[in-house]
Structure 1
Amino acid sequence: MADSQRLPVVETFHSLQGEGHHAGRSAFFIRLAGCTVGCPWCDTKHSWPAQGHPEQPVDALADAARMAAEAGASFVVITGGEPLHHDLQPLTQTLDARCGLPLHLETSGVDPLSGRFDWITLSPKRHRPPRQELLQACHELKVVVHGPEDISFAAAMASQCEDNTERLLQPGWESSIGEALAVEHVRQHSRWRLSLQSHKWLGIR
């Protein structure tokens, strides 16, 4: 783990949130390096090793977020990799002080929660189930679907979340089976919504 005042950063960019409840909104992304979860379908495998990515001071990240806010970003997304592999308290504290935008977290939930967030998207994985505290803390449960076992897993995860947690199924990219299963489940279960990776359809980051 890096010094919490400096974090390994894969990239930062200002774009649109492509997935989930806040899809289509302007956002500033901070993608941290390091992930041991190892999802085979991951589209950011270059973010897995923490080594090889430059460590940046949290002050610099907050300044970049403030500039994005001035350019129209509605919120900051801290993603990865698996961002909770790192202590996020110094980063979120500095973002609150220097930027002031709502802070969103995208996590698999395998590590203890650190930092302060306005919105937590939990995307749990069958091969590395999340911690109970993340199931209770998340605002949005988003499960990637490739096969029938993912539907069962999604239901099991949802049963451990708060009643008001948003529940989303997201077909694996180019998974026709996952797409059919997710669409049919959402059609039959009113508590669930469909999430699509709109940024990939649009060809943006």
Structure 2
Amino acid sequence: MKEQIAQIEAGKALPLVEEFYTIQGEGFHTGKAAYFIRIGGCDIGCRWCDSKITWSAAMHGAKSIEDIVHKVLATPAKSVVVTGGEPTLYNLNPLTSLLKKHQVKTFLETSGAYDISGDWDWICLSPKTNKHPKLSSLSKANELKVIIYNFEEDIAWAELQARKVTNDCKLYLQPEWSRFKKNIDDIVNYVKTNPQWELSLQSHKFAGVP
């Protein structure tokens, strides 16, 4: 156990929940093939989280980054999405370095609540009110994706975060899946009135793919 903890702390292994090759369903890269690496451990605790299985890192065994990358390379994947959970709880420098060594692009999905390690081609930051994002994370975001559950509250939160990212950061509003019908019309109308924002849909759920 101590050895596993040491490996994780060094970034040489990660508490892996699942890994799979699929089509990206959300945000800027929607529709593109990518290999997903879902890492366990999250202390954000969103009530509508669709990946609560990731919250406890202890539930998931540590897997070496060499084994992870070996499986990536067994597919035609040209990019890897590292998600969670909250992946920035870990040292991701070794993983991204190894992926880059094999010319695989690296994409990160994070709440921005912690310092970001690793070498990333694209950072999607989805900030949560439960644990506010760090300014250093907001400044690195290529994409700001705000989940809309309670429309008025979450739109105000989205606009607050949009003022903190860089001018070239892409801005997305995404209806939370269980409240899609309740919120979609309001979100569409908001985007039409505020065209600096774009609509993100969880297209993989509509298509029935992972």
TM-score interval (norm. to shorter): over 0.9
Deviation at 1:158, TM superposition (A): 0.4
Q: Does residue 165 of structure 2 align to residue 158 of structure 1?
A: no
CA RMSD of aligned residues (A): 1.1
CA–CA separation in structure 2 for the residues paired with 1:134 and 1:117: 12
Deviation at 1:171, TM superposition (A): 0.4
Give the alignment's TM-score, normalised by structure 2.
Answer: 0.93
Match of 1:111 among 102, 109, 114: 114
| Residues 25, 74 of structure 1: 8 Å contact kept | no
Match of 2:56 among 49, 58, 77: 49
Q: Deviations over 1:86-119 (max 9, x none)?
A: 111111111112x311100000001101001000
Residue matched to 1:82: 86
Match of 1:65 among 67, 72, 86: 72
Deviation at 1:178, TM superposition (A): 2.7
Which structure carries more helix by proportion? Answer: 2
Match of 2:97 among 72, 79, 93: 93
Match of 1:145 among 144, 148, 156: 148
Relative to structure 1, is the Cα distance of residues 190 and 121 closer, same or farther in structure 2, using a 3 angstrom cutoff? Answer: same
Deviation at 1:202, TM superposition (A): 0.9
Match of 2:197 among 192, 196, 201: 192
Match of 1:9 among 16, 30, 33: 16
CA–CA separation in structure 1 for the residues paired with 2:186 and 2:165: 22
- 1:160 alignment partner AA: K
Deviation at 1:66, TM superposition (A): 1.5
Unaligned stretches of 5+ residues in structure 1: none
- 2:177 alignment partner AA: W
Q: Which runs of at least 4 in structure 1 moved beyond 4 Å after TM superposition?
A: none
Residue matched to 1:122: 125
CA–CA separation in structure 2 for the residues paired with 1:178 and 1:64: 39
| Residues 145, 179 of structure 1: 8 Å contact kept | no
Q: Does residue 26 of structure 2 align to residue 23 of structure 1?
A: no
CA–CA separation in structure 1 for the residues paired with 2:64 and 2:103: 18
Deviation at 1:177, TM superposition (A): 3.1
Alignment coverage as a number of residue pairs:
201
Q: How many percent of aligned residue pairs carry the same amino acid?
A: 39
Name the stretch that deviates more: 14-23 or 179-188: 179-188
Unaligned stretches of 5+ residues in structure 2: none
- 1:101 alignment partner AA: V
